[in-house]
Amino acid sequence: MKRLFVLLFAVLLTSCATITPGSDPVVVRAQDVLTNSLSVYEAAMKTHYAISTQEPPAVYHATEQVRVVFPKAWRGLRAAIDAYKASGSKDPEKLRLAVLSFFGEAEQIGPDSWRDAIRLIRKAFEGA
């Protein structure tokens, strides 16, 4: 499963959005986080559903934790992005903090391969 996340992330890094003149870079990068983390989640759940009867108990329970916790964290970040855009704010700090909060939740759950993938997405966000 770890190889799946590494390969998926390599694909995701090449698909990060380009920031066009006039667009808000924090919004673009936050939306990249939404898209990329959801892709990792969907791949993890597809694999989990396909092989869950063969997973060691610790991996099974860690992945189930991802299944339960991640969607709520993801919806929270999406709501923060929507609120930021709707407010017309020019201060990106609140949105940046919402993204970091999302990472704080997402990095604390799941098997090692999940946390590694989320950390790589975080590095891409912070390096932008």
41 part of a folded domain: yes
Residue 38 half-sphere exposure toward CB, CA atoms < 13 A: 12
Q: Give which of 16, 6, 8, 9 is closest to 125, Cα–Cα.
A: 16
Domain with 58 in it: 24-127
81 part of a folded domain: yes
The number of domains in the chain is 1
H/E stretch holding 83: helix 57-87
102 part of a folded domain: yes
How far is 108 from 81, CA to CA, in rounded Å? 22
Q: Give the global pTM.
A: 0.81
Task: Mark 75-107 as b/e (b = at least 16 C-beta within 10 Å).
Answer: eebbebbeebeeeeeeebeebbebbeebbebbb
Whether residue 17 is predicted with pLDDT greater than 90 in this model: the reply is no
Instruction: For residue 127, name the pLDDT band (cuts at 50, 70, 90).
Output: confident
Average pLDDT over residues 111-126: 87
88 part of a folded domain: yes
2 part of a folded domain: no
Average pLDDT over the chain reads 83
13 part of a folded domain: no
Residue type, 98: A
Instruction: For residue 105, name the pLDDT band (cuts at 50, 70, 90).
Output: very high
4 part of a folded domain: no
> Between these two residues, 19 and 10, which has the higher pLDDT value?
19
CA separation, residue 8 to residues 21, 22, 38, 40, 43 (Å): 29, 30, 11, 7, 8
Residue type, 119: R
Length of the chain: 128
10 part of a folded domain: no
